[in-house]
Amino acid sequence: MMKWSIELSEYSIKYEPRGAIKAQALADFVMELTAPADEGEFGETQWTLSVDGASNLGGSGAGIVLEGPRGILLEQSLRFEFRASNNQAEYEALLAGMALAKEMGAASLSARSDSQLITGQVAGTFQAKDPQLAKYLEKVKLLSENFREFTLNHIPREQNSRADLPSKLANTKKPGTTRSVIQETLAQPSINEPQGSVLFIQDELDSWMGPYIAYLTRGELPEDKKEASLIQRESARFVVINERLYRRGFSSPLLRCLTASQAQRVMDEVHSGMCGSHIGGRALVYKVARAGYFWPSLRNDCVNWVQKCDGCQRHATLHHSLAERLHSILSPWPFNKWGIDILGPFSIAVRQLKFLIVAVDYFSKWIEAEPVATISTEKVKTFLWKNVVCRYGVSQVLVSDNGT
């Protein structure tokens, strides 16, 4: 210290040692060098995704605009080498945008689209009845699990012009002519990726089909001898084609075996879907089998599904007559009470006879029958007069299901 004081004295400079740092000064220093909350890591802030798809005679494409914190702006243009409808292009744009946000580390994503159908299906207000769109919807729900918060909102088309421009750019210009945005080409739809099929087959292996597939493909049997014997005996009715289990039908082609979740979807579509007519339980069993599906509890599940259907229980034509005492049918002596009915039409016989008038005595079970060519009032009157009245006398009661 003395050395520094002597050296600096000729320049009229005084050396003073620094005192203790005050707590407030240290706090101010830390506040100045600490970034605000909205300028922290990317994943802690809200990301905004705008997507749009376009399909025309020139091809199909999609546009993606991803906005993040600190003025981050990513624009991507996708060009499809396969034919896609407008709805499929919208889904492809949404899936690509979600994948891009996941790659950037976004934890909270707010997506916007001008397709009311896509936003309604993701929100659950619309049904995805088309098989292709249903697969797209399942993949969107699977990707949304990677974000802490995910929302998809519908906006008018005029407010989505920013994402509409890259989607049209993918259709109108060749790849490589524009460098201001990221351009990418998709060779096949996103739902055709092998990952989804692997998960799908894994669900089947974990269900009731797993032991049959293991035995038919690798010859493996369960350790339980009773269960192993059952699988060996029943496996003759099954066959594995392309890692999928099918059941041989008696008078039908191969039936596709389903898991429990797949069976519920099939029953819902056949019973109350676009072509469903809310049929009964037994009819639903036969219709599902004719559609080409099978699972072990098919009959019981279909009957229980119809019993739990809210529409069937509300609008079914049920019998609402009041309860009454049972009426005994008495016939005190022979030929006092007759039951009469008309049967047919049968195969045409000689003299064009194809109907049969039948009368049965309630007491003796005696039968009177006569074939006729046509049904008319005169024919019935002639039969009653000739076969009943003239032979056994006038009866007291005639029972028929046709009052006329």
Query: pLDDT (tens digit, 9 = 90+) per residue, 150-201?
Result: 888 888 877 776 656 555 555 554 444 444 456 667 767 767 654 444 445 6
pLDDT digits (tens, 9 = 90+) for 271-300: 988 777 888 889 999 999 888 899 999 999
Asked whether residue 21 carries a pLDDT value surpassing 90, the answer given is no
Q: Are 122 and 142 in the same domain?
A: yes
Q: What DSSP element (H or E) covers 112?
A: strand 108-113
Residue 176's region, left for phi above 0, alpha for psi from -120 to 50, else beta, is left
**Spatial separation of the C-alpha atoms in residues 118 and 94, rounded to whole Å:** 9
The verdict on residue 9 lying in a domain is: no
Q: Judge if 49 and 188 occupy the same domain.
A: yes
Q: Is the pLDDT of residue 11 over 90?
A: no
Residue 334: asked if its preceding bond is cis (omega within 30°), the reply is no
Residues 79 and 185 in one domain: yes
Whether the per-residue pLDDT at 40 is higher than 70: the answer is no
Average pLDDT (80-87) is: 80
- Residue 364: DSSP 8-state: T
Q: Are residues 307 and 391 in the same domain?
A: no
User: Is 324 inside any structural domain?
Assistant: no
Q: Give domain status of residue 347, yes or no.
A: yes
Do 125 and 107 share a structural domain? Answer: yes
> Looking at residue 118, what is its pLDDT?
87
Distance CA 213, CA 227 (A): 14
Residue 67 lies inside a defined structural domain of this protein = yes
What mean pLDDT comes out for the span 194-221?
A: 75
- Quick one: 365 exposed, middle or buried, by C-beta within 10 A (0-12, 13-18, 19+)? exposed
Q: What's the CA gap between 385 and 44, in Å, rounded?
A: 97
Q: Are residues 292 and 212 in the same domain?
A: yes
pTM above 0.85, yes or no: no
DSSP 37: G
Residue 373 scores a pLDDT above 90: yes
Q: How far, in Å, are 33, 307, 330, 396 from residue 333 at the CA level?
A: 115, 47, 9, 11
Q: Which residues contact 271 (CB under 8 A, 6 or more apart)?
A: 278, 279, 284, 305, 306, 309
Whether the CB-CB separation of 209 and 263 falls below 8 Å is answered with no
Helix, strand, coil shares of the chain, percent, nearest 5, are 45, 20, 35
Please check whether residue 325 lies inside any domain of the structure.
no
pLDDT for 19: 65
180 & 208 share domain:
no
Q: What is the pLDDT of residue 395?
A: 92
- Predicted pLDDT of residue 342: 93
- Reported as a pLDDT band with limits 50, 70 and 90, residue 339 is very high
Q: Highest-confidence range of 44-58, 69-83, 220-234, 318-332, by mean pLDDT?
A: 220-234
Residue 119 has pLDDT above 80, yes or no: yes
> Lowest mean pLDDT: which of 189-198, 226-235, 337-346?
189-198
pLDDT value of residue 367: 95
**What per-residue confidence (pLDDT) applies to 177?**
41
Q: What integer pLDDT is reported at residue 380 of this predicted model?
A: 93
Q: What is the pLDDT of residue 198?
A: 47
Residue type, 124: G
Q: State which of 192, 221, 244 marks the end of a domain.
A: 192
Q: Quick one: which H or E segment has residue 5?
A: helix 2-9
Helix (H, G, I), strand (E, B) or coil at 327: coil
Question: Can you name the residues that pair with 152 across neighbouring β-strands?
Answer: 111
Q: Which of 298, 313, 328 is where one domain is finished? A: 313
Are residues 78 and 149 both part of a single domain?
Answer: yes
Q: Say whether both 46 and 188 belong to one domain.
A: yes
- When pLDDT is cut at 50, 70 and 90, the band that residue 51 belongs to is confident
User: Which of these, 217, 293, 213, 296, lies nearest to 249 by C-alpha position?
Assistant: 293
* Residue 171 domain-assigned (yes or no): yes
How crowded is residue 104: how many other Cβ atoms within 10 Å of its Cβ?
Answer: 15
Percent of the chain whose pLDDT exceeds 90: 26
Mean pLDDT of the chain: 82
Strand partners, 153: 112
Q: Is the pLDDT of residue 43 over 50?
A: no
CATH of the domain at 287: 1.10.340.70
Q: Are residues 214 and 279 in the same domain?
A: yes
Domain residue limits at 391: 337-399
pLDDT of residue 343: 92
Which backbone phi and psi does 210 adopt, to 5 degrees?
Answer: -55, -50
CA 335 to chain centre: 64
Same domain, 181 and 223: no
E-strand ranges in 12-103 read 46-56, 59-67, 73-80
Q: Is residue 114 part of a domain?
A: yes
pLDDT at 180: 45
Cα→Cα distances 153→54, 161, 312, Å:
19, 15, 35
Is 130 inside any structural domain? yes
Q: Which CATH number belongs to the domain containing residue 353 in this structure?
A: 3.30.420.10
Least reliable range by pLDDT among 78-87, 257-266, 276-285, 315-324: 315-324
* Amino acid residing at 365: K
Domain count, the chain: 3
**Coil/strand/helix, residue 163:** helix
Domain boundary among 313, 346, 380: 313
Same domain, residue pair 234 and 292: yes
